[in-house]
Amino acid sequence: MLDAASIWKSFDGVEVLRDVSLTVRQGECLVLLGPSGSGKSTLLRCLNLLEPVSSGSIVFDGTEIANTPRGQVAKVRQRIGMVFQNFELFQHLSALDNIALAPIRVRNVSPDRAREQARTLLDRVHLPDKADSFPDELSGGQQQRVAIARALAMEPALMLYDEPTSALDPEMVGEVLAVMQDLAETGMTSVVVTHELGFARRVADHVVFMDGGQVAHRASAASFFGDKAPERVERFLSRMPA
Ligand SMILES: Nc1ncnc2c1ncn2[C@@H]1O[C@H](COP(=O)(O)OP(=O)(O)O)[C@@H](O)[C@H]1O
Ligand SMILES: [Mg+2]
């Protein structure tokens, strides 16, 4: 589904990604771990063309997208859902309208049909009775689940999550991870930046550990957590909450 090869990215001459490669097969979940500043968000932003790469190849669903002309970027990005740490919902729209907006505007789905699909998605993220709630009437965990539903409304082939639970109170982390796990288990291909090791252990097929803009370690989840990892990785893991 996604094959990124030798991605380099610099900002003003400072190299932030150095020769990063990763592959995600259809239906797989890849978890990206690594310390703050290691380039995880930049990598996700490059993968969905929010940032141009300096060099490298990104093959998404059989098509090279790394050098997509500006005018066609939006078209590619429609097929890649992205969920951010801070939800980024439209504050002036209800949960239902947040979800229905892009299908109506971008995919020319009829408003009735888009709202019907939005209701189905609200069920999917376990918020069937929040259609008419505005973001400021929802908890962080609920807002993030609406944000996931909004991304799903475009029927993406790939979901990217950038620390989706890092801004949440601890008691809300589980409800968001449960939705992500359910999606992964029902076949959604995903790349997840998270510090939730339990999620990585339970849900990831593969784990990539980034450090200093490079892939420092990669393994199947079973091997990543089961076998001895490089010293740098062991030190990182030992400092994380259980
Ligand atoms: N738009 C930008 N301009 C300049 N430097 C940036 C920009 N975005 C990220 N960086 C730098 O790139 C490095 C990696 O950042 P980031 O991808 O956010 O790491 P992570 O998500 O792993 O914490 C950091 O040193 C950060 O300061
Ligand atoms: Mg980040």
pLDDT digits (tens, 9 = 90+) for 40-89: 999 999 999 999 999 999 999 999 999 999 999 999 999 999 999 999 99
Q: Which ligand is nearest to the CA of 163?
A: 2
Residue from 204, 88, 203, 202 nearest 144 by CA: 88
pLDDT given for residue 237 in this prediction:
87
What is the C-alpha separation between 48 and 81, in angstroms, rounded? Answer: 8
Annotation: CATH topology of 2-79+157-239: Rossmann fold (3.40.50)
8 Å CB contact between 53 and 66: yes
- pLDDT at 191 exceeding the cut of 70: yes
Q: What is the DSSP string of 99-138?
A: HHHHHHHHH---HHHHHHHHHHHHHHTT-TT-TT--GGGS
Top mutation candidate among 9, 14, 16 for ligand 1, by most atoms within 8 Å of CB:
16
Q: How far is the CA of 132 from the centre of ligand 2 (A)?
A: 31
Which ligand gives the minimal distance to the CA of 86?
2
The verdict on the CB of residue 198 being under 6 Å from ligand 1 is no
- Give the pLDDT confidence score for residue 232 in this predicted structure: 87
Q: Is the pLDDT of residue 140 over 80?
A: yes
Residue 195 has pLDDT above 90, yes or no: yes
| Alpha carbon of 93 to ligand 1 centroid (Å) | 31
Domain with CATH 3.40.50.300 in the chain: 2-79+157-239
Give the Å distance between the CA of 36 and the centre of ligand 1. 9
**Residue 199: band (very low, low, confident or very high) from pLDDT cuts 50, 70, 90:** very high
Ligand 1 atom having least distance to the Cα of 44? 17
Note the pTM of the prediction, 2 decimals. Answer: 0.96
Q: What's the Cα-to-Cα distance from 150 to each of 33, 101, 107, 146, 155, rounded to whole Å? A: 25, 9, 13, 6, 10
Structure tokens belonging to residue 2: 């996604």
Pick the residue whose CA is nearest to atom 16 on ligand 1: 39
**What is the predicted pLDDT for the residue at 228?**
86
Q: Is the CB of 206 under 6 A from ligand 1?
A: no
Taking residues 203-218, what's their average pLDDT? Answer: 97
Question: Ligand 1 in contact with 190 (CB < 6 A)?
Answer: no
State which H helix or E strand residue 148 sits in.
helix 140-152
Paired residues of 211 in beta bridges: 214
> Which phi and psi angles does 79 have, rounded to 5°?
-95, 0
* Ligand number with the minimum distance to the CA of 9: 1
Residue 242: pLDDT band by 50, 70, 90 thresholds?
low
Supply the residue whose CA is at minimum distance from atom 11 of ligand 1. 16
Q: What's the pLDDT tens digit per position in 84-130?
A: 999 999 999 999 999 999 999 999 999 999 999 999 999 999 999 99
- Residue partners of 45: CB distance under 8 A and separation at least 6: 51
Mean residue pLDDT across the chain = 96
User: Would you state the pLDDT for residue 142?
Assistant: 98
- Report pLDDT for 217: 95
Write down the residue that tokens 């639970």 correspond to: 165
Euclidean distance between CA atoms 181 and 221, whole angstroms: 15
**Cβ partners under 8 Å of residue 91, min gap 6:** 134, 135, 136
